[in-house]
A = this chain, B = another copy of it.
Amino acid sequence: MMQRVLAAMAGGFMGLMISGPALAGTVTSDGADLILKTKGGFEVTTADGDYSFKVGGRLMLDYNAYDGVINTVEGQTGSDIWFRRARLEIKGKAKDWSYLMSYNLTGSGSIDQLHASYNGFGKMTVLTMGQQKEGFGLDDTGSSKWITGIERALASDAFDTGNNVGLKLHGGNDAISYSLGVYKESIDADDNALDTGVTGRIVYRPIIDDDLLVHLGAGFTARDGEFDSLGARLGVRGGEDRTANRSRVRYAGGLSGDEQQSYNLEAAATFGQAHIQAEYFSSEVSGATAPDLEADGYYLQLGWVLTGENRGYKNGAGVFDKIKPSGPGGAWEVFARYDAFNVDGAEADPAITVEGGDATVITLGANWYINSNAKLSLNYVSSETDQLINGEDDGDAIVARLQFAF
C-alpha cells in the first residue's frame, strides 16, 4: 500500500516536473535499462545492446503506362496503379541471436524474409538460417527501398535468385564483404528429394572514404532443379497483372534442363555526390536430354545527387543504402541507365524458342527523397527488342512511385 502511494506520488511529481499533462504516469522496465525510439515505426533497445525489438514497414505505390513491345496487347497502352511492394517488418536481437520477419501484404500474403542469425562468432562470420536473400548481384542484394531506378536492370531481373530457404555464412569489414550459402531450389518430383543451389559473392573495397568509395565484386550460383527458360522483363513490370512482355529463350515441347550456372561481376563507385554502377551477368541452363540455354546481360548506371548528399553504403552486406536528405526540402537525384540482355547462340535449334531475342532498355529518372520516410520517383523507360513480339519491337513507358517506409 505504502509502495503504491509512493509510486503515485512519484508519478505525479515526475509528470509535473517533466512534460505537460498532470496525469502522466511513470515508465520503467522489468530489469535492463531501455531506450525507445519512434520515427513513425517503433524500436526498443536495452542500454547494454543485448536485446532489441523493432517494427517497421514499407509501401510502394506505383503508377505506370507502357506501349509498343512492352504491352502484351499490340498497338495499345497498358497502365495500372497498384502496390509494387507492401511489407510489415519485425526484427530483434536476443544476445548472440537476431531475427527478421518480413511479410508481404500484397497478393494473398507471403513470407518475404524470415530468418534467425547467430552472431556469436563476430561480424565476419554470421550464420543466417531461414528464408533470405541469397546475395547474388549488387542491386539484387541491396534493399528494394534504395535502388536508384524504380525497377532493377534487365540483367538483375533475369538472373536474380530470389529469396530462398537455406543457410548462409556471411560477413563484412571495411575492405571485404562475402557470403556463401546453400538454399532450397525445389523438391524433385521423381524422388521427393531436395534440389539445392550454392551461391557465393565476394566484394572488395580498395577505397572507402566519405567522399570516395570503390566497390568491386563477383558472384556465382550453381543450382539443381528444373529450368525451362532464361528471360527478362523489358524494363517495366506491367502492373499488378504483369501484363508486360519478356524477352526470353525457352525450351519447346516440354523439355527442361536440370542444372543452371550463373556468374556475375560488379563495379561501382561514389565520388561525392556522383555515383556510377555496372554489373555483368552470364548464365547457362543445361541437361542430359536438352541442349543448353545461354544468356547474358549487363547495365551501366550514372547518378548525380543535385542537393549534394552522398549515396549510403553498408559494409556488412556490401550494398548501397539510403540517401539521407540533409535539408528541409529533401534530396534530389537524377540518373540514367543503359541495360542489355542477350540470348546467345542456338536460335536455329528446333528444341529452343526465342521470344524478342536481344533487348536493350534506356531508363532516365529522378528521385525526390522528401524526408527519411517518403520518396517520390519518376522514370522514363525506352525498350527495344531484336525480334518482333506481337508485331512490335520497341516501346516506351512512364513509371512513378510513392514510397513510404517506417
Contact = CB atoms under 8 A, between A and B. Distances in A.
Contacts of A82: 165, 184
Interface string A99-134: 101010111111100111000000000000111000
A35 interface: yes
Given A238-B192, A374-B97, A19 B7 contact: yes
Contacts of A97: 40, 370-371, 373-374, 404
A198 to B, nearest CB: 14
A76 interface: yes
Interface in A245-272: none
B165 A61 contact: yes
A144 interface: no
Contact of A26 (B18, B45, B165, B192): B18
Contacts of A101: 57, 59, 86, 88, 105
Nearest to A182: B81
B193 A374 contact: no
A316 interface: no
A321 to B, nearest CB: 19
**Size band of the A side of the interface?**
35 or more
A76 B3 contact: no
Contact of A36 (B34, B92, B103): B34
Task: Tell me the number of copies of this protein.
Answer: 3
A114 B105 contact: yes
A19 B32 CA distance: 11
Contact of A105 (B23, B29, B72, B103): B103
A187 B240 contact: yes
Interface string A383-406: 000000000000000000010101
A46 B109 CA distance: 32
Contact of A95 (B46, B79, B187, B371): B371
Given A28-B35, A32-B25, A53-B55, A99 B187 contact: no
Contacts of A194: 79-81, 239
B187 A80 contact: yes
Interface string A184-222: 100100111110000000000000000000000000000
Contacts of A345: none
A147 interface: no
